[in-house]
A and B are shown apart, each in its own frame.
Chain A
Amino acid sequence: MIALLFRDLKLALRAGGGFGLGLAFFLIVTVMVPFSVGPQSELLARIAPGVLWLGALLACLLSLDRLLALDWEDGSLDLLATAPLPLEGTVTIKALAHWITTGLPLVLAAPVLGVLLNLPVQGFLWLLVSLLLGTPALSVIGTFGAALTVGLKRGGLLLSLLVMPLYVPTLIFGAEVARRGAEGLAVQTPLLLLAGISAASIALLPFASAAVLRVNLR
């Protein structure tokens, strides 16, 4: 399992691996926001937590269609399915690798982009915490969507259509934590709910992803 994780990380870092693309997309989206809503700093400060969450979510979504499709095309997925590794483990590792290469950089970049959007000082901590807790759920849910659409030729758009509704609860609670943090309100309730969604997704969804992958492989 560790070998698979290291291979995926190595692949992401080598040429053509797409590492950093999500990060660049996050930056671009954030920069575009003031152009579309205007430069007033009070307005930007108010929408910053939501915009950053949405940007992170979209950047995450962007990289999902490569998550399993590359391994599908070159036959690695067939071979992994016959390996001693349970498929549930494989998809979990894939989701973890996706989180490390996409989710974690987004979390770390978010405070920097928060500066661009005039995020209030007390908001930074909770933005970071909410993304740290929420992005693993985005990766795991996204892996499920990627497993659903892995055999399809033009799966990219369908993948977004399938995954977006599943992202609704995570986005609501995550952005709520960030918003309340920025406004100096108590964040405990949405924070616990967000953590609950992440924990439950990580614990349960790999079984669904593996089941779906088995169907697609046969």
Chain B
Amino acid sequence: MSIWEYANPKKFLATTERVMPTLWISSAALISVGLVWGFFFTPDDYRQGSTVKIIFLHVPSALMAINAWFMMLVTSLVWVIRRHHVSALAARAAAPVGVVMTLIALVTGAIWGQPMWGTWWAWDPRLTSFLVLFLFYLGYIALWEAIDNPDTAADLTSILCLVGSVFAVLSRYAVNFWNQGLHQGASLSLDKEENVADVFSNPLYVCMAGFVLLFIALVFYRTGTEIRARRIKALIARERLEA
């Protein structure tokens, strides 16, 4: 039994279809519990008032925006090294989810920033890095869409993802250097004295877990779609070949 068995599209489809209902339900449950808990059963912050509660959308989506790219990096590497088609298709499936997460993080950030900083947008390093990440996502998706041959597309996008990751990290540091910003420090971290208070962090954890499960569910679902699309494409090509 090894994880590579799931590189077989059939096996992957069969397994994910079994776990899909659980994933959908548990992510929906976690997100609703987390959001209801966060929105209605936490106190207002003494400085930020009730605006602070957007954190329950902002932080989980920002988390997934970065981790989606990280997942694409890993699956791209698996494709480049082991050439498992499911891996490449999973990377393709994750990109639109990642771009939406990035967009949610940017929009909720703007909505939060308006009352707090008095502006919708500032060229703060964190905000700017997310905008750059958004551009990377767009380029990656556009390249997938532009190429007909699926294997070529998988190869090219994988290399773009690898090179892009390096440049994304570089951009992060460049942007930090370029402008020290307004954004507060990380809301949650393991080694910091001052974190978000427990009343806020507990529902936040629930929301984050919900977003992680939602992301996994969406990626499984979309990968299944990609696999079927690939299969149809292959069958059509095969018919042409036989004719």
Q: In the complex, A touching B, CB below 8 Å? A: yes
Chain A positions near chain B (C-beta within 8 angstroms): 144, 148-149, 151-152, 155, 158, 161-162, 164-166, 168-169, 172-173, 176, 189-190, 193, 197, 205, 208, 211-212, 215-216, 218
B167 at the interface (CB under 8 A from A): yes
- Inter-chain contacts of B139 with A (CB < 8 A): 158, 161-162, 164-165
Grouping DSSP codes into helix (H, G, I), strand (E, B) and loop, the A interface class, with mixed when no group exceeds half, is helix
Chain B neighbourhood of A166, CB < 8 A? 163-164, 167
A164 is contacted by which of B135, B160, B174 (Cβ under 8 Å)? B135
8 Å CB interface, B83-137 against A: 132, 135-136
Contact (Cβ within 8 A) B174 A162: no
Instruction: Give the number of residues in B that approach A within 8 Å (Cβ atoms).
Output: 26
**Which residues of A have CB within 8 Å of B156?**
148, 212, 215-216
A97 and B175 CA atoms in complex are apart in Å by: 31
Q: Are A165 and B170 in contact (CB under 8 A)?
A: no
Residue of A nearest to B175 (CB): A172
Some 25 contacts from A to B, beta carbons below 8 A apart, are A148-B143, A149-B143, A158-B139, A161-B135, A162-B139, A162-B142, A162-B160, A164-B139, A165-B168, A165-B171, A166-B163, A166-B167, A168-B132, A168-B170, A169-B171, A169-B173, A176-B177, A176-B178, A197-B170, A208-B159, A208-B162, A211-B159, A212-B156, A215-B152, A215-B156
CB atoms of B177 and A172 under 8 A apart: yes
Counting from the closest, the 6 A-B pairs by CB-CB distance are A169-B174, A172-B174, A169-B170, A215-B155, A165-B135, A168-B171
Give chain B nearest CB distance to A36 CB in angstroms.
20
- Which of B138, B162, B177 counts the most A-chain CB atoms under 10 A from its CB? B177
B177 near A190: Cβ-Cβ < 8 Å? yes
- Contact, CB under 8 Å: B177 / A165: no
Interface flag for B147 (CB, 8 Å): yes
